[in-house]
Structure formats: C-alpha cells, structure tokens
Amino acid sequence: MRTRGYRTYHRIERVHFGAGSVEVVPDEVRRLGARRAFFIVSRTLDRTTRVVQDIRDRIGVVHAGSYDGVPAHVPRDAVIAAAAAARDAGADLIVTVGGGTVMDTGQLVRLCLEHDVRHPDALDAFRTVARPDGTRHLPEYAAPRVPQVAVATTLSAGEFNPILGCTDTRRGVKEIFTHPALAAQVIVLDAAVTVHTPERLWLATGIRALDHAVETICSPAVDDYSMGPALHAVKLLVENLPRTRSAPQDLEARHRCMMGAWLSADHNMAFVPMGASHGVGHMLGAALGVPHGETSCVMLPATLRFNQAACPEPLAQVSAAMGRPGEPAWQVVRDFVAGLGLPTTFEEIGVKAEHLARIAAASMQSHFVLNNPRRLRSEAEVKELLALAFAGA
C-alpha cells in the first residue's frame, strides 16, 4: 500500500443525490450564470421517455439546443460533431443526461470548445500516452471554462471521473484524456430517473462500478484514503444490485447502488491506476464494440485470477467485502456476475480466438494494463490473461 503521495482534487462543486434531486437542475443553471445551455443526451432516453424534455422544460428559454447522436465508445468524429453543434449554439454550459458515453462526450466537447478543436486529428495534442515502463505523458493545457451539469442514468460514474476515454477509429484503440477540470462541476444522482435504464445496461454498469472499486483495492498504488471508499462501494453494490434486479422500482436499492458507484470512482481513479480489467476492456470496446460494463463482467474475474499471487491480501479483502471470506475472489466475482444474468466468458460477448492478437497488441498501449498488479510487459503475457477470459476464469 502506498504511504506517500499527493492529491489534486477534481473541480466538482456539488453533488445532489436522492429521489427528486433532478429538480435542482434549473437552480444550478442559474447559479452557474448560463444563458445558452446545450444538452448532450442519450438518444433512447430523449426519444422514448419524458426525462430529458422535462429538464429542458424546467430551464425554459436557456435551452440552446440538443445533441443525441453519440455512439458507444465515444469516437472522435462524434465528439467533433457534437462540439460543432454546441459551438454553433453559443453554448456556455453543457448539460449531460445519460450514461458513460454521454458523460465522456460532454467532457470532451468542453475541451474542444476551450481549444477550438474542429478536426479529429487535433485531439492528438490532448491525449495521454502510455510509456513502456507504465508511466504516462500527460500534456498540459488550459482547463475548459464551460461548465457541465451531469444527470446520471447508469452506474458507470463517468461524471465523477477526470479521466475519460475516446476512441481513435483510425487505429482502433481507446485513448485516455485527463485534466482535473474535466469532471462535471455539478452532478445529480436521482434514482427515480434511472428506472428507464434497460436492466442489462444498469446491471452491467454496476459491475463496471464494482470493477472500479476492486481494481482500486488491488492496485499497488492504493492508499488508506482510497481503500475505505472502495471497500464500502463493494458492499453497497453487492447488497443492492440484486435487489434492483428483483424489484426494478425499488428506489432505495437504486439509490444505494448510485452511492456505491460514486464511492467507487470519486477521488480514486485519478490517483490509483486501474489494472488490466479496465485496460483490456477499453480495447475490447474500441476494436469490437463490446459495451464497457460487459467487458468488466468478463475481464474482472479473469484479471483477479491472473493477479492471485501478486496481491493475495487485497483479494482476500474483496472476498470478505462480498460476503464470502476465505474463497478465491475471482470465483466470488464470477458467481456474482452470473447470478445477475450477465456474461462471464468471451464467447458470450462475441469475442473470438482470432481477435486475441489484435486485442493483445492494442492493450500494450494502455497505461492501466502496464500498471496491473501482476506486471504485463509483452503481448504474450496479455494473451495468457485473455485465455482465462475465454475459459470464464
């Protein structure tokens, strides 16, 4: 466990939580002094429910336009298109309503507005580059001045994270962008809004949150400050995700899942590097289009089994937090995922043997893979990990 380090706090100003908290959005829009609020939202949520329209109605004439055309995994060209629409609307505030894709897009649109980025290639100047030794090159640039209000509808917790992913479709890799000011300034966690989220998406992003927490616990860079929230996040998610499956209208269980997702991410991921489950998952998403929550369903058990000898004490804490002390953590996590009706093998998410070499090569560009507790320094070692995911760990 790390005993010396530092913290750079994110520029989150407020987090509103609890049923009905979405009603504060107009107040926050006024507090931030916005005159032209531009919405980036989930297409399904926008076109099949009243959630987004109700928020637009509440803020009235301040609404300057909306964009709902961002596909999963945040491809660069979609970010540029959304930024162009926001620029044309004269946006002085970004409001995001949706899951991780929407949140990451909103953050990158703010970056594009600040630096007048108008072409996908121009994002090269802002991406994080992983070095072979696991360290990173972090470009320095001015913080975006356009703020963001984020209304979350999944458990991905992207709204809290100043580290976000964007896919370079030219190379088929998901790249990392980071700045302390990229996290949303105002975050709304309203369980009542999430009842429209499809069950599989809700549950799989819950496993994504579990992945954040577990890889924090197992990281060689973890410290006491991060360990406490991460362990409690595991407990909240394990106790309440099954409740939301059996009783989808149980707002208390949904709220506690959202609290778990918050604890899994806030003040953790920017300072405690995630491991191979996240890193490989990014590449599976970029290359094959696998949803991030589902990559965690498969990769987290496989990664924990691969790491077993490298971090036995943290893994024992994971098992205990999940209510099965003394059992192998990879098995406990796999059983939990399967119990939610989610996939646990590559076959179930459409990953085939012929994809292995491509994924292994792309994964070696990931800072997270290079900082896995059991070191990964070659494509051959990554393939050893991937073999466990084919077998369901």
CATH number at residue 105: 3.40.50.1970
Q: Is the pLDDT confidence value at 267 over 60?
A: no
Q: What CA–CA distance (Å, rounded) separates 303 from 309? A: 12
Cβ-based neighbours of 223, under 8 Å, separated by 6 or more: 1, 2, 3, 5, 272
Predicted local distance difference test score (pLDDT) of residue 317: 98
Q: Is the pLDDT confidence value at 18 over 70?
A: yes
Predicted local distance difference test score (pLDDT) of residue 138: 85
Q: Does 170 share its domain with 202?
A: no
Predicted local distance difference test score (pLDDT) of residue 360: 95
Q: Is the pLDDT confidence value at 263 over 80?
A: yes
DSSP code per residue over 151-206? EE-SS--GGG-SEEEEEETTTTEEEEEE-TT-S-SEEEE-GGGGGGS-HHHHHHHH
Residue 171 in domain: yes
Domain containing residue 332: CATH number: 1.20.1090.10
Q: Does 171 share its domain with 207?
A: no
Q: Does 141 share its domain with 36?
A: yes
Q: For 43-74, what is the HEC assignment?
A: HHHHHHCCHHHHHHHHHHHHEEEEECCCCCCC
* Predicted confidence band of residue 268 (pLDDT cuts 50, 70, 90): low
Interval 154-178 mean pLDDT = 90
Interval 8-30 mean pLDDT = 92
Range of the domain at 229: 198-390
Q: Is the pLDDT confidence value at 6 over 80?
A: no
SS3 137: strand
Q: Does 267 share its domain with 120?
A: no
Highest mean pLDDT among 132-141, 160-169, 331-340: 331-340
Residue 141 in domain: yes
Q: Does 94 share its domain with 224?
A: no
In angstroms, the Cα distances linking 68 to 150, 164, 190 are 15, 19, 21
Cα angle 73, 77, 81; round to 5 = 110
DSSP code per residue over 232-286? HHHHHHHHHHHHHHH-TT-HHHHHHHHHHHHHHHTTTTTTS---HHHHHHHHHHH
Q: Does 168 share its domain with 208?
A: no
Q: Does 216 share its domain with 94?
A: no
Interval 162-191 mean pLDDT = 91
Q: Are 77 and 169 in contact (CB under 8 A)?
A: yes
Residue 1 in domain: no
- List phi, psi (to 5°) of 172: 65, 35
Task: Name the residue with higher pLDDT: 131 or 13.
Answer: 13
SS3 78: helix
Residue 6 in domain: no
Residue-wise pLDDT tens digits, 269-314: 556 889 999 999 999 998 899 998 999 999 999 999 999 999 999 9
Q: Is the pLDDT confidence value at 347 over 90?
A: yes
Residue 3 in domain: no
In angstroms, the Cα distances linking 364 to 107, 187, 275, 307 are 26, 33, 12, 17
Task: Name the residue with higher pLDDT: 175 or 65.
Answer: 65
Q: Does 180 share its domain with 324?
A: no
Measured over the CA atoms of residue 202, residue 207, residue 210 and residue 211, the dihedral's sign is negative
Interval 353-358 mean pLDDT = 93
Q: Is the pLDDT confidence value at 148 over 60?
A: yes
Cβ-based neighbours of 4, under 8 Å, separated by 6 or more: none
> Given 164, 192, 220, which residue is the final one in a domain?
192
Residue 5 in domain: no
Q: Does 317 share its domain with 386?
A: yes
Residue-wise pLDDT tens digits, 199-245: 999 999 999 999 999 999 999 989 898 999 999 999 999 999 999 99
Closest CA to 366 of 295, 267, 318: 295
Task: Name the residue with higher pLDDT: 176 or 21.
Answer: 21
Residue 38 in domain: yes
> Given 129, 161, 192, which residue is the final one in a domain?
192
> Given 143, 172, 192, which residue is the final one in a domain?
192
Q: Does 372 share its domain with 334?
A: yes
Residue-wise pLDDT tens digits, 91-143: 999 999 999 999 999 999 999 999 999 999 999 999 988 788 777 788 999 99
Residue 291 in domain: yes
Express as a percent the part of the chain with pLDDT over 90.
Answer: 82
Kindly state the greatest CA–CA separation across the chain: 59
Q: Does 267 share its domain with 346?
A: yes
Q: Does 53 share its domain with 140?
A: yes
Domain count, the chain: 2
Interval 345-374 mean pLDDT = 93
Residue-wise pLDDT tens digits, 36-51: 999 999 999 999 999 9
Q: What CA–CA distance (Å, rounded) separates 197 from 190? A: 12
Q: Is the pLDDT confidence value at 146 over 80?
A: yes
Q: What CA–CA distance (Å, rounded) separates 174 from 305? A: 25
Q: Is the pLDDT confidence value at 366 over 60?
A: yes
